[in-house]
Structure 1
């Protein structure tokens, strides 16, 4: 499932952004060896302070498994201010309808932990679809993206090949980098959907995502909010059943079911560790 976080809703998803920054640190700092600033296990740069939009992919438990950043090219952006060597002296492209896509990464370790490379491919394609559809809905006609040769091959294999390149390929850390151009057309989106077999809506409801994250945090902490302990189990299950019935999408229903399972387990748990009833 995909969620877009920007200046309007970032106050609700600070924990999700932190998880995204940690994934970026593992990918760009540890795996690719790029010269990025990592602090407290998170990779954050000056462009993250410009209120960009983040397209983030989540698994069924609410873990960040993919992400990409979208930034306007009319102001500071990576190709003009950091990777300008790629441009071979040419001026950077600037347009209100051309946005820059950077920091595209997928958590291959989590997704392919059991050797399931299909999950990596699906997460990659879902993120492509989500970023292209978000761009198209926002009035963006084209994307310029700084990628490495591996990602260039991934795009081509996914029937999402760039229609052009800017400048030339240059060495960056352990890999090389290039600037590729993608159009945000229905035709391109349709090709990626056909390749991946992803045909439904990839975007999740914000409230459903928040509920899913809260359920996961409660499960990981081994606790539920104090208010839960002050109501009866019947009240808890009645609330959850109402949320499940009111779900309008599969994502909403999955989030409501996940929350119900966590609350039910905690409501039935013994009050004192090690004591059985």
Structure 2
């Protein structure tokens, strides 16, 4: 399995991976979790996909996308401030240039449940490590996100606890909460699964993260 980044300049080269990502998001957020999301024949997508985000994907050796997340600078339009402001106790994110927003994190739960250190799914931990590594490389030291209480517990189990930005709020059929996560070497060391390593791709404009 490989974990790699797709920046806007690489969308065309990774069109198949991105198509799979949108279908995975539809399966997880629309079908399994039954969130109120927009799904078409091409999968799940929203207005924030139009803002040239960077995506981090986990892909098997058979080129199957099994994990994804979307990253956008927090100083720009964010899901938290535009869509979920009720999750912010102050009503504002107070973003800085060293903060990035993470959204639409999901992992294919039909995969065999290989565990990292007996804790969580290997793909989940590898995605966490990839998010932190990418953030540090791009001079972000804080990650902000809106998620649910279930995922907050997963973060705690991974040793990457979230600092809440407000009280949990019921939204649709879930209880949502917003918070920040540190992007630093200590956090990376805690979540990084055994066998995770960074290698240079043939195209040196990106790094591929490989999990043995």
Q: Greater helix percent: which structure? A: 1
TM-score w.r.t. the length of structure 1 is: 0.68
| Map of 1:158 onto structure 2 | 158
| Map of 1:16 onto structure 2 | 17
Tell me how far 1:89 sits from its aligned partner.
5.1
Moved over 6 A (4+): none
Distance 1:175 1:151 in 2: 11
SS in 1 for 2:9: coil
Q: 1:27 to 1:98 in 2, by over 3 A?
A: same
> CA RMSD for the aligned pairs?
2.2
Tell me how far 1:204 sits from its aligned partner.
7.0
| Map of 2:79 onto structure 1 | 78
Tell me how far 1:174 sits from its aligned partner.
2.4
Per-residue Cα deviation, 1:78-128 (whole angstroms, up to 9, x for no partner):
00100111114521232111110011100001x13xxx3538710000000
Segments of 5+ residues of structure 2 without an aligned counterpart are none
| Map of 2:201 onto structure 1 | 205
Per-residue Cα deviation, 1:156-182 (whole angstroms, up to 9, x for no partner):
1111112x1111211123221111211
| Larger gyration radius, structure 1 or structure 2 | 1
User: How many residues are treated as equivalent by the alignment?
Assistant: 203
Distance 2:54 2:18 in 1: 11
Q: 1:31 to 1:45 in 2, by over 3 A?
A: same
| Map of 2:140 onto structure 1 | 140
| Map of 1:264 onto structure 2 | none
Would you say the 8 A contact 2:3–2:209 is kept in 1? Answer: no
Query: 1:99 aligned to 2:100?
Result: yes
Counterparts of residues 127-276 of structure 1 (less than 5 Å)? 127-162=127-162, 164-193=163-192, 196-201=193-198, 205=201
Segments of 5+ residues of structure 1 without an aligned counterpart are 208-248, 255-277
Tell me how far 1:198 sits from its aligned partner.
3.7
Q: 1:142 to 1:41 in 2, by over 3 A?
A: same
| Map of 1:258 onto structure 2 | none
Distance 1:132 1:85 in 2: 26
Per-residue Cα deviation, 1:231-265 (whole angstroms, up to 9, x for no partner):
xxxxxxxxxxxxxxxxxx996xx9xxxxxxxxxxx
Distance 1:184 1:13 in 2: 26
Distance 1:204 1:29 in 2: 35
Q: 1:51 to 1:150 in 2, by over 3 A?
A: same
Distance 1:204 1:2 in 2: 12
Q: 1:35 to 1:51 in 2, by over 3 A?
A: same
